[in-house]
Structure 1
Amino acid sequence: MKNCKETSNNKVFTFTERQSKLTLLNKDEVSSTKVHVDGCAISDNGVKCDYLHLVEDKNLEIYIELKGQDLRQAMKQIERTISILGSKKQQQKLKSYIICSRSPLASTEIQQYDRTFRKHYNCQLIIKSSPFTDSY
């Protein structure tokens, strides 16, 4: 990979693109790596998510797509990124965030997507409107 990674124990990691913003709070200040995926870690013409955030001490991979409102496209981007960059370790925890500038779907559709992601990728899917803050 080119210089696509930034590793630190910062307490706050912010991910922004256009009108979408996700803030992740690193409550234990463990070493974490922010990976720029789109155009860096994966530079082909296929779909991919914007960021991957790795927290090795917690066996955690966080996939991040910052979107306007096209949720279906965001799902495809995260799925392909997991298939290319995802760890194959059994104990690895996967979490995906889709942060939309406008609320994308009814909650029943979001629940259906979440079930699909859990079944196929053992990955928790979180879909929220921007700005959104969470912690790990």
Structure 2
Amino acid sequence: MRSSEVAARAGVHPQTLRYYERRGLVSEPPRTATGYRVYPAAAVSRVRFVKRAQELGFTLDEVRDLLHLADGGPDDCDSARALARSRLRALEARIADLHRMRESLVELVETCERPRRDRRCPLLDALQTGRKEA
């Protein structure tokens, strides 16, 4: 498949596909004699994996690690376990942050009818002051 076909099937722009190549998330495919990239069919699944992981909030560096695990991970189980535990801790921290954000927004919604001076939202306060309390 050519770049445009892979991109269309995966739901991304062709430039996104090339960016993923530069980042090492998608292997650079062989080229035809005329210089066109020729991707294997599996490239579509790989690009979809990357996009879905991004939609779930993973950074591209984290996606690279996830792809490595999906491809069989490190040869030694201890390394794979350590990587998985690290990602689990990061995910748990993100979930805790999201719960705090949710509680803050619920509190704000509940106080929206009050005069501005009587409203309270730790999330908005933290964003305005740059603190990491929300």
Q: TM-score, normalised by structure 1?
A: 0.28
Question: Which structure shows the higher helix fraction?
Answer: 2
Question: Which structure shows the higher strand fraction?
Answer: 1
